[in-house]
Structure 1
Amino acid sequence: MRLSQFSPIFRRSFCSSSRYCSDFSHVVIGGGVVGTAIAAELSEVAGNSVLLVEKNEDLGMETTSRNSEVIHAGLYYPQLSLKGQLCIRGKNKIYEANDKGLFQVALQKCGKWVVAQNESEEAYLEKLYQNSRDLGVPVSMISASEAKRKYPLIRAEAGALNSPTTGIISAHELTTFYQSKVENNDGTIALNTRVVDIGPNLATPNYTLRLVDIEGSDMEVTTDNVVNSAGLYAQKIANLVLPPDRQYQSYFAKGSYFSFQPEVALSHSKITDKLIYPCPNPNASSLGTHLTLDLGGQIRFGPDLEWLDIEDASEIDYRASTNNLDAAYKAIQTYFPSVTPGSLQPSYSGVRPKLLSAADSKKHFADFVIKEEDGFPGFVNLLGIESPGLTASWAIADYVKEIYHG
């Protein structure tokens, strides 16, 4: 059931005990791909009554619609990290569902190369190779000569690491797949609806949420459990509940993408049919400006990295600026020398919700935070859900379901 405005059937009167009835068993805040996946999995459990609240006019309109749409293999993450474990599980669930014909979501297991240009980058590839093997992620090494034979226009002076389980997927169709599960399981989806306050009723225990629709009308609903999957607004939502000494600060990193149109015909018709990633800069908190493909085979580059000096996601300017073109061109030229400045045009941008500042991100690995908050039973926070959130979405949903249902 999808609601664009409040309705008398909005309340479900979910009874959690003989003493008290909440309107819902679970309210999921945030209708991106992760929040929608969580609502889908929770709605699969018999007896649950799930409400998914999204402030935009449709699901998946923010971070979900502004990324590379890559199915990440899970190469880069520490073995015991949530990012590593959930990325691999999520990837496997997507491919298994596709192989069994269980969902109609456009995807392609195209593979990717991480390319190295010097000895230090070659050493990085060796470490990445070993980390991948330890994680159980299939990889192989490609020599510089082999790389040149296969893709003459791609520069890999010190070889490449081949990741055959990397792919691309339609983020919109994946979100729609999860959405259909919510609706088929009689979940409720409230669009154009913001959560403006959350009141813990610790004696009950349950939560009262104050919701405001696009026209300014407000109402209250009660729920036994709250899942904060608000993405760029997750810290803000968390701080509605947590005491001052436990509140979170928001950080935002913008990434711009660039379309590619050769100014002159290239000597080889096929540049690549794999994604091409440079070795990450050790002083950066991103994977670098890489070459990706869309499902139509068109090349695009990005994202770059630009830390935003803002405190609230409502201040984000999503315009992709020409100011970043020169830096993007220089980054791309290291592995694709045929690129010219005039062949790149700003296309779109996305913003990653960060747990750490720019300075701290260079020093520390920032894992996903997915936890039930101490002292607030049933209140589960998801913070810093950036890449590989799209890939991990199904596994994240399973993880949250396990918090509630074991």
Structure 2
Amino acid sequence: MDSIDTLIIGAGALGLACAARLASAQQSCLIVEAEALIGSHTSSRNSEVIHAGLYYAPGSLKAELCLEGRERLYAWCAQHQVAHRRIGKLLVAVSAAERGKLEALATNAQACGVHDLQAIEQSLLAELEPAVRGVAALLSPSTGIIDSHAYLQSLLAAAENQGAQLVLQTRVDQLEPGPDGWLVTGRSAGEAFQLKAQRVINAGGLFAQQLAQRTAGLPAAQIPALHLCRGRYFGYSGRAPFQHLIYPLPEANTAGLGIHATLDLGGQLRFGPDAEYLQQIDYRVDEQLREPFAKAIRRYFPQLDSTRLVPGYCGIRPKLAGPGEPAADFLIQTASDHGLPGLINLFGIESPGLTASLAIAERVALAACRT
């Protein structure tokens, strides 16, 4: 039976970042992915934004790892020639009643360690973004955009250059702890396989809980509930009217940050995501969403031509908080949590997971070294 040092389950940004960090000539590393392509789910279906770290609870893993990950990610992109740009983001108060929310957000960002926000009054906002309606804004110069697909490829290349191997169309059906590591059973391209691994990293994203349920000896109480939350995007045909990313202030009692405006590296404008809880994965974007999207966008972009809105793509967040519940933090679960040496489960890695991926991988590596 084949025996390896590290098995990483899931070839999204998180799994690939862990592989790039852990693979070495001295440590064999295998990445398995159930789909035919890397990053087939959450990692390739998002806003492609490098987040500054403004919204999260001070002291939370999301806040800490977003800031650390942001700097690691910019450095990685520069070193590995991954296309990116510090485009900056404007958080806009569309009415005087929202000024208090803007100030609260600035205070929260400061508490999280973000110290470069700039207060923008209406006159300067009009100069920076004439098409935007608002009475005040915050400029986040550390926010950027990235080619997420190129980033995934760069992580894979780095991991493979250090000896890691990737096997696609491979599903792990069972994990069993043993005296000398983990017995792993599954199917690869339709063929049954077994192998032994000293350590296992569950970076399954939307499917992490399913794998946890197939892990022998893992207490059910240690498997958090998964809440699928869909975010849909519309493209905007023609020339983009903005130079920055434009974010309205988060609306009360919603699961996301509101329908904001983002640009890709080619200058194409898109709006989204919305937030809708689902019972099962569904990536459809309904044409009938155009008018609800248009209504939300016109709050800060009154000249919107809704006929230029084109159904785009959709992503699904693996949330640990359900509808109406407070936002949940990342969960990096190790042997000290569940009592199973050599197993690291990564649950609830939603936004800012892409930004934080290299920082999360560093935490995983530290935990793996203790096993």
TM tier, smaller = over 0.9
Q: Assess if the C-alpha contact under 8 Å between 1:90 and 1:394 holds in 2.
A: yes
Q: Provide the residue aligned with 1:37 in structure 2.
A: 17
Determine what percentage of the aligned residue pairs are the same residue: 40
Give matches, 1:350-369, under 5 Å. Answer: 350-360=315-325, 364-369=326-331
Q: Assess if the C-alpha contact under 8 Å between 1:30 and 1:231 holds in 2.
A: yes
1:154 aligns with 2:132: yes
1:257 aligned to 233, 244, 264, which one?
A: 233
Q: Provide the residue aligned with 2:154 in structure 1.
A: 177
Tell me, in whole angstroms, the C-alpha distance in 1 between the residues paired with 2:62 and 2:219. 27
Tell me, in whole angstroms, the C-alpha distance in 1 between the residues paired with 2:74 and 2:6. 29
Q: Provide the residue aligned with 1:94 in structure 2.
A: 73
Q: Provide the residue aligned with 2:307 in structure 1.
A: 342
Q: Assess if the C-alpha contact under 8 Å between 2:183 and 2:194 holds in 1.
A: yes
Q: Assess if the C-alpha contact under 8 Å between 1:318 and 1:349 holds in 2.
A: yes
367 and 120 in structure 1: CA distance in 2 versus 1, 3 angstrom threshold:
farther
1:374-401 Cα deviation digits (max 9, x unpaired) = 2111111100111111111111111100
SS in 1 for 2:345: strand
1:142 aligns with 2:104: no
1:85-117 Cα deviation digits (max 9, x unpaired) = 11111110122344xx42110001000000002
Give matches, 1:54-203, under 5 Å. Answer: 54-98=33-77, 101-137=78-114, 138-156=116-134, 158-201=135-178
Q: Unaligned stretches of 5+ in structure 1?
A: 1-9, 12-22, 263-268, 311-315
Tell me, in whole angstroms, the C-alpha distance in 2 between the residues paired with 1:245 and 1:84. 26
SS in 1 for 2:5: strand
- Residues 165-174 or 47-56, more deviating: 47-56
Q: Provide the residue aligned with 1:20 in structure 2.
A: none
Tell me, in whole angstroms, the C-alpha distance in 1 between the residues paired with 2:347 and 2:240. 40
2:297 aligned to 306, 322, 332, which one?
A: 332
Query: Deviation of residue 245 (structure 1)?
Result: 4.0
- Report the AA paired with residue 358 of structure 2: W
TM-score normalized with structure 2 length: 0.95
SS in 1 for 2:271: strand
Q: Assess if the C-alpha contact under 8 Å between 1:355 and 1:366 holds in 2.
A: yes
1:197-223 Cα deviation digits (max 9, x unpaired) = 11122xx14111112123x21110111
SS in 2 for 1:210: strand
Alignment coverage as a number of residue pairs: 365
Query: Deviation of residue 119 (structure 1)?
Result: 3.3
1:272 aligns with 2:242: yes
Q: Provide the residue aligned with 2:288 in structure 1.
A: 323
Q: Assess if the C-alpha contact under 8 Å between 1:239 and 1:248 holds in 2.
A: no
Q: Provide the residue aligned with 2:332 in structure 1.
A: 370
Q: Unaligned stretches of 5+ in structure 2?
A: none
Q: Assess if the C-alpha contact under 8 Å between 2:240 and 2:269 holds in 1.
A: no
Tell me, in whole angstroms, the C-alpha distance in 2 between the residues paired with 1:136 and 1:70. 19
Query: Deviation of residue 246 (structure 1)?
Result: 3.6
Tell me, in whole angstroms, the C-alpha distance in 2 between the residues paired with 1:254 and 1:365. 15
1:225 aligns with 2:225: no
Tell me, in whole angstroms, the C-alpha distance in 2 between the residues paired with 1:279 and 1:117. 8
Q: Provide the residue aligned with 1:382 in structure 2.
A: 346
Tell me, in whole angstroms, the C-alpha distance in 2 between the residues paired with 1:25 and 1:396. 20
SS in 2 for 1:211: strand
- Residues 369-378 or 69-78, more deviating: 369-378
Tell me, in whole angstroms, the C-alpha distance in 2 between the residues paired with 1:236 and 1:139. 40
Query: Deviation of residue 283 (structure 1)?
Result: 0.7
- Report the AA paired with residue 398 of structure 1: E
Query: Deviation of residue 188 (structure 1)?
Result: 1.5
175 and 217 in structure 1: CA distance in 2 versus 1, 3 angstrom threshold:
same
Q: Assess if the C-alpha contact under 8 Å between 1:238 and 1:248 holds in 2.
A: no
Query: Deviation of residue 61 (structure 1)?
Result: 1.6
1:281 aligned to 238, 246, 251, which one?
A: 251
Query: Deviation of residue 261 (structure 1)?
Result: 2.2
Tell me, in whole angstroms, the C-alpha distance in 2 between the residues paired with 1:380 and 1:391. 20
